[in-house]
Amino acid sequence: MRAGAGVLALLMATGCTAAAAEREQEAAAAPATAVGITPENGAQGLVPELPIMVTAAGGTLKSVTVEATGKRVEGMFSADRTRWRSARPMTPGTDYTVTAVAINRAGKTTETRSAFSTLKAAKSFDVQTILPNKDLTGLTVGIGMPIMITFDHDVTDRVSIEKNLQVQASKPVQGAWHWFDNRHVSFRPKEYWPAHTKVRLVARLAGVRGGDGMYGAKDYVRDFTIGRSQISHGDTGTHYMKVVRDGKVIRNMPISAGMGGAMKYYTTSGVHLAMDRELVTVMTSPGIGPGSPGYYQTTVYDTVRISDTGEYVHGAPWSVGDQGNSNVSHGCVNISPANAKWFRINTLIGDPIIISGSPRPLDPTNGWGHWQESWKQWLKWSRLRGASTEPL
C-alpha cells in the first residue's frame, strides 16, 4: 500500500510539472498583443481636432496613459477593453505621449509607447460673455432664462462647437442650442425650466475647431439655479397684469401700456423675459433729439427691463389715474410706485413677462425674445437638432 501510494504521488507530481511546463510553452508561443496608436509615433504638425485612439488585437488593454505637456488626458475604454479613445480632441501646439500596456490571452503583458505633436493655432477664439452670470443676472434665475454665449470672434464650425457644449440638469429637460449669428449661440428648453432645477454648463472649448486654423482657447463651467416658477401676464386690453407664482395668482396690478398711434408707441406683444432690474432709470425718447417734437427725458424708479427697444415695467405716478382703464405710455408698462417696488423686488432675471393685446409683436432678436420662436423654428438654427440634458 505504501509503495502504491508513493507511485501515485510521483505520477501526480510528474503530471503537474508537465502541465505547468505545457502552459509555459503555450504562453511563450502565444503572440503578443498587437497595439495600434493613432496618431502614429513621431508625427508632427497634426490637426488638433482629431481624437487619440488606441487599439489592441489578440488581447486587451490593461491601461492607457496619455499626457499632454504634463497633464493627464482623460479617455474611455470600450466594453471589451480592446479600444480606448480620448474624451476630447487634441489641443493646438501640444506634445503628447502615450503609454499603452496590453495583455495577451496567455497573460503576458507588453508596453507600447508613442509621442507626437499638434500644430500651433493660427488664431484662437474665446468666450466673451456667458449668461447667466453672477454680476449681471445673479445665479438664481427665472424659469425662462436661456443660456447665452457670446464669442469674441466669428466662428463657423458650429457643429464642433455645439458638440462640446454640454448642459447638465438635476431634472431632465429637452432643449437645444440655437445660433443667432456666428458670435451668438443660446440654449433654451422646449418648455420652461422646472422650478428649482440646478443647471451646469460645461463648455469644453479648449482646442475645439471654430474655423479654418482657429481653435478654442479654454474651457468654461457655469453653475446656476432656477428659482420658483413666476410668470406675469399683462393684457393691454383689460389694462391689468397678474403675477402667477407656482400656479397661484399672488398679485393683480392695474397697468397702462403703449398708447399706439405710431407702431413704435405700442408695447410689444409676446413672451418677454426680465432682463434687468434697476432702482433708477433715465429714459430718453428713441430717435428724437432735444428740441424736436415728441422729445422727452424722464427719470423713473423701480424698473424691470423687458426688451432692447426701451420697454420696461416701471413705476409711473403720473399715470396712476389711467392705470386699469387706458393706455397712455410711449411703450412701457406703467404701474403704480408701490406695485413697481414690489415687482422689482419679487422678479428674478429670466422670469417670463407675457404681454398680449397689442398689434406689435416682439421680435425674437429684440432683447431675450427667445420664446417667441416655436420649438420647430428654434430647432432650425440648431446644428444638432436638440437633445435631453445630461444628469447633474
pLDDT along the chain (392 residues), means of 10: 54 56 61 95 92 96 95 96 94 95 94 96 96 97 98 97 96 96 97 98 94 94 98 98 98 97 95 97 79 80 96 97 97 98 98 98 97 96 87 90
Angle at 149 between CA 148 and CA 154, to 5 degrees: 135
188, three cell numbers: 433654451
Measured distance CA(337)–CA(241) in Å, rounded: 15
Residue from 272, 268, 266, 298 nearest 285 by CA: 298
Measured distance CA(308)–CA(367) in Å, rounded: 5
Predicted pLDDT at 13: 54
The alpha-helical segments, DSSP class H, found in 288-346 are 337-345
Measured distance CA(312)–CA(298) in Å, rounded: 13
Residue from 130, 114, 285, 255 nearest 199 by CA: 130
Predicted pLDDT at 392: 87
Residue from 349, 348, 371 nearest 361 by CA: 371
Measured distance CA(185)–CA(203) in Å, rounded: 12
Catalytic residue (choose from 239, 330, 332, 370): 332
Residue from 132, 72, 128, 131 nearest 99 by CA: 72
Are the CB atoms for 81 and 60 separated by under 8 Å? yes
Predicted pLDDT at 30: 75
Catalytic residue (choose from 178, 314, 330, 370): 314
7, three cell numbers: 507511485
How many other CB atoms sit within 10 Å of the CB of residue 130?
17
Q: Is 184 marked active-site?
A: no
Residues 264-289: tens digit of each pLDDT:
999 999 999 999 999 999 988 776 77
- Starting from the edge strand earliest in sequence, which strands make up the sheet with 214-216, in order? 123-125, 214-216, 209-211
Predicted pLDDT at 231: 98
**pTM of the shown model:** 0.85
Q: Is 314 marked active-site?
A: yes
Measured distance CA(280)–CA(120) in Å, rounded: 49
Measured distance CA(241)–CA(234) in Å, rounded: 4
